[in-house]
Amino acid sequence: MALRLFVFMSVGLVFLFSGMADAADNCDVARDVAERAASAYKKNKKRGIDLFLKAYRLCPDDGAFAYNAGMACYGDGDLARARKYLEMAVQKDGTRALWHNNLASVLLERGDNMKSALSHAQKAAGLDPDSPEILETLANAHAAVGDYPGGIAVMKKAAKRWPQNSRVAACYEKLLNDYLKKSPVSDTVDVDMDIPLGNIKRPYGVAVVIGNQRYEAEKKGLSDVKYAERDAMAVKEYLVRTMGYDPENIIYRTNVSFADMRNIFGTQENPEGMLHRYVRKGCSQVFIYYAGHGAPGPHGSANYLVPVDAAVDYIANNGYSLDAFYYILSKLPAKEVTVVLDACFSGYSAAGPLFKKISPGMLKSRQPVRKMAGGSVFCGADKDQVCAWYPAKRHSLFTYFFLKGLGGKADKNGDKAITTGEMKTYLEDEVPYWAGREANRKQNPLVTGDENAVLTRLK
């Protein structure tokens, strides 16, 4: 993704001269060298870059000299060295919004390590939330990791703050158009059309929606999970329109890393992650949806949700443990919890085996569902099965029928209330039949919990 660093927009290169109070003679000399470098750069970039690098080597502990070197390299088109020195700069001083922004921009332009680009863009926006240019970088970083809705939301808010800013308006339009081209919600797929309105409000309801699709970009040997982003997007729409959740109370993420999962849910040692802070004690109904890879641990010792940056052969080290997941949920002060896992834990996916160095006979999986007090768990397939895709509907087969059930197909008694028990019966009828018919495989969804719990009430 080509993205100009906004510091260049109208004034050309801007170099910083350290104000660091340092008695060391080398840093005093470095400042003099940097001033000459800025002057030389205007006439001869190569000469200017050489001088900026000399200034940096004279005073490597002052991040401003690394920043100058990185910016000079960027101006000369050397993105690799620009990244190197800008990373050094933010390591020395992580309080500069502009430095994080420009590093994010370089990463976006190089097209590598999009997760890091998003991280630096978020830091920049946190340090300077009043810069439309920094918010533009943040929006593009969201898009680069596949979170177009997140990027569009950033620019929509920016457009409201700066209605006369043509650059902000253009970025919003571009992201929206790219999103519609890249991941259209087709009006030919029934669950994406005329999403039914619910007759229920959950003002304190809290939801987490995760769609992990883009594993291949991390180059860790894992295949993409087709439709996971689309599934997550559709579930979010049903949460708002059919199940009564406030969109402000939905933590919506795509292509999350191991660190992201720890931040969202917490850890077994510290279970109070982002989700915990959203929950109102005794009032919140919590809904969690995950679409992505799941995996068994070594010798069937555990099951794991698989972050996009996981190395699956070392899943016990960089997977998110289901044991920890359920333990953390048990500690939430919520009124009730519903979990929907569109993932399989057999060591296989619809695209083939996850593990490249382990023979199939060595794979053992534990049951992925747990009984939770005051909670329900839905899982797309039994422990030794695979969750099938449904290409004709452009969704995972399990999520497609879960949404169909919410839309009214699960309402067997016609009272407009969709209960856990009704959804269980509907999924057990439809998913095995269509998995056999469409994918020639066995797939039996698992459901546990209070069968009288109401998922939604339809108008």
> Looking at residue 206, what is its pLDDT?
98
363 in any annotated domain: yes
Question: Alpha-carbon torsion 84, 89, 90, 92, what sign?
Answer: positive
The CATH number of whichever domain residue 270 belongs to comes to 3.40.50.1460
What is the structure's pLDDT at 7? 36
Its sign, for the CA torsion 40, 43, 85, 3, is positive
Same domain, 103 and 240: no
User: For residue 115, what are the domain limits?
Assistant: 6-138
Identify whether residues 85 and 231 lie together within a single domain: no
Note whether residue 64 is domain-resident: yes
Tally: H helices and E strands in the chain: 16, 15
Rounded CA-CA distance 157/167 in Å is: 14
Given this model, what pLDDT does residue 453 score?
Answer: 95
Distance CA 224, CA 207 (A): 24
Query: Is 295 contained in some domain?
Result: yes
Residue 217 in any domain: the answer is yes
The per-residue pLDDT for 5 is 39
Q: Which residues contact 114 (CB under 8 A, 6 or more apart)?
A: 107, 108, 141, 144, 145, 217
> What is the structure's pLDDT at 366?
67
- Asked if the structure places residue 233 within a domain, the reply is yes
> For the domain that residue 85 is a member of, what is the CATH number?
1.25.40.10
227 and 81 assigned to the same domain: no
Q: Is residue 72 located within the same domain as residue 209?
A: no
Residue 216 to residue 198: CA distance in whole angstroms: 37
- Cβ(390)–Cβ(380) below 8 Å: no
Asked if 234 and 367 sit in the same domain, the reply is: yes
Q: Note the pLDDT of residue 442.
A: 93
Q: Which of 138, 170, 200 is the last residue of a domain?
A: 138
Q: Which H/E stretch holds residue 47?
A: helix 45-58
How much is the pTM?
A: 0.63
Tell me what pLDDT residue 371 has: 85
Confirm whether 151 is domain-assigned.
Answer: no
Does residue 143 form part of some domain? no
Number of domains making up the chain:
2
Q: What angle do CA 272, 322, 114 make, to 5 degrees?
A: 75
Decide: 137 and 105 in contact? Cβ < 8 Å: yes
Q: pLDDT tens digits, the chain, 459 residues: what are they?
A: 333 333 332 223 455 555 554 445 788 898 999 999 989 998 999 999 999 999 999 999 999 999 999 999 998 888 889 999 999 999 999 999 999 999 999 999 887 778 899 999 999 999 999 999 999 999 999 988 888 888 998 998 999 999 999 999 999 888 888 877 665 555 568 898 878 999 999 999 999 999 999 888 888 888 889 899 999 999 999 999 999 999 999 999 999 999 999 999 999 999 999 999 999 999 999 999 999 999 888 776 789 999 999 987 788 889 999 999 999 999 999 999 999 999 988 776 666 666 554 444 444 566 777 888 889 999 999 988 889 999 999 999 999 999 999 999 999 999 999 999 999 999 999 999 999 999 899 999 999 999 999 999 999
CB 406 within 8 A of CB 431: no
Are 28 and 112 part of one and the same domain? Answer: yes
